[in-house]
A and B are shown apart, each in its own frame.
Chain A
Amino acid sequence: MGICLRILHDRHEAEEVLQEVFISIWNRAGTFDPGRSSPLTWLSTIARNKAIDRLRSRRAHGSDAPYGEALEIADEAPDGFAAAAGREEGERVRYCLSTLEGRTQEMIRSAFFDGLTYSELAARAAVPLGTLKSWIRRGLQRLKLCLEG
């Protein structure tokens, strides 16, 4: 629920999406591979993707608030349950992100937590799209090397 609300900024919509998430889980249970990821990761991934789908279809209809507001909700209260589950494996991705340049790190985090696209990130940072893409791509390549290491 936290995922949907952070991305959509609207309680009613977040709940609608959450409902869709659970329905689609029932329909797609066969595609869940217990050997590969935990049910919680699977659930969270679907929730994030569905929330972003909803966000983008809303933007396509031109009724969204400016995405500049996206950063106003802080990550203050981690879900204790998820935080506990992810703490150990989480060290790696958090460590690797922290090795990136501050600006790149922030942008990758905004992409993950707020569901922003390249062009939205570029507009927000007021830099040309090409420049922004090369920053993030370099960051992702370094992140990958670090995660593999």
Chain B
Amino acid sequence: MSEEIPLAAEYVLRLLEGEELLDARRRAAEDPAFAAEVAWWEERLAPLFAEFAEEAPSPDLWPRILRRLDEPGAAVVVLKKQVARWRAATAVAAVAAAVLLGLQLRPDAPAPVPLPPVTTPAPLLVASLVGEEAPEALTVAFRAAGRELVITPARVEAPSGRARQLWLIPEGGQPISLGLIASEGVQRRVLPAAVASRFASGATIAVSDEPTGGSPTGQPTGAVLATGGLNTV
């Protein structure tokens, strides 16, 4: 067996201290091959995260985080100009929101039951919507269990007299209204079973420009401002 020191693994596990730690940090920053090894280990070990016990944070944590992000000078202002970064940020925020809100939905977590090996778990679907032309950016997460939709607007603005309406567009199907969205605050709603059943990976979520009160026809009537694909997390 090779006597090579598995430095990348030690670094990822955070076993190192002192000189050895400084050395590993320097290499992670300067040596792309080493950085790739670090990423390799992070990914291989990541499944172990599933073994951490589930803990619900206090209900006001997410609002507290959003308030801090809203503070003047927060990085959000800069991010607004960068669609690529937004895409990543919104994807992550959607997961974050879903995880946080999801956990709060079960204050009395049932005793852990061994998970059956083959069943498909209740899916969590996430879409991040970014307008190419319009400034709209938001994330939508849907938990099949509870039929709950969580909408996190990053930037949603409607001029006076107009509203923003959210749609689910199943693959090869007609848009289904998910209701109007407010420009601020995390919005949660429970969907009717008939609508919830149409949520599937591959469907599209869209925001359209509509008159106040929403589309009078039940189908989008104004411009589509932002779209995003629905993916299983």
The chain B residue with its CB closest to the CB of A108 is: B13
- Chain B residues lying within 8 Å of A117, measured Cβ to Cβ, are 14-17
The chain B residue with its CB closest to the CB of A36 is: B39
Does B133 have its Cβ within 8 Å of any Cβ on chain A?
Answer: no
Does A75 have its Cβ within 8 Å of any Cβ on chain B?
Answer: yes
Q: Are A81 and B109 in contact (CB under 8 A)?
A: no
Does B33 have its Cβ within 8 Å of any Cβ on chain A?
Answer: no
In the complex, how many angstroms separate the beta carbon of B136 from the nearest chain A beta carbon? 17
Interface residue range, chain B = 35 or more
Does A127 have its Cβ within 8 Å of any Cβ on chain B?
Answer: no
In the complex, how many angstroms separate the beta carbon of A93 from the nearest chain B beta carbon? 5
Binary per-residue interface labels of chain A (74-92) against chain B in the complex, 1 for a CB within 8 Å, 0 otherwise: 1111111111111101111
Comparing B74-82, B178-186, B205-213, B218-226, the segment that makes contact with chain A is: B74-82
Q: A26-B69, A49-B14, A80-B121 are in contact. Are A38 and B42 (CB under 8 A)?
A: no
Q: A32-B92, A85-B233 are in contact. Are A75 and B51 (CB under 8 A)?
A: yes
Q: Are A25 and B57 in contact (CB under 8 A)?
A: no
A140 vs B82: C-alpha distance when bound (angstroms) = 40
Q: Are B92 and A25 in contact (CB under 8 A)?
A: yes
Does B56 have its Cβ within 8 Å of any Cβ on chain A?
Answer: yes
Q: Are B112 and A90 in contact (CB under 8 A)?
A: no
User: Which secondary structure dominates where chain A touches chain B?
Assistant: helix
Q: Are B96 and A43 in contact (CB under 8 A)?
A: yes
Q: Are B54 and A118 in contact (CB under 8 A)?
A: no
Interchain Cβ contacts within 8 Å, total number: 194
Does B99 have its Cβ within 8 Å of any Cβ on chain A?
Answer: yes
In the complex, how many angstroms separate the beta carbon of A4 from the nearest chain B beta carbon? 8
The chain B residue with its CB closest to the CB of A22 is: B65
Q: A19-B65, A77-B109 are in contact. Are A140 and B10 (CB under 8 A)?
A: yes
A135 vs B7: C-alpha distance when bound (angstroms) = 14
- Chain A residues lying within 8 Å of B91, measured Cβ to Cβ, are 32, 34, 39
| 10 chain-A/chain-B pairs, Cβ below 8 angstroms | A1-B56, A2-B54, A26-B76, A34-B91, A39-B91, A78-B51, A78-B112, A87-B50, A93-B47, A147-B44
Interface, chain B (partner A; CB < 8 A): 1-2, 4-6, 9-10, 13-17, 39, 42-58, 61, 64-65, 68-69, 74-76, 79, 82, 84-86, 88-89, 91-96, 99, 102-103, 109, 112, 115, 117, 121, 124, 233
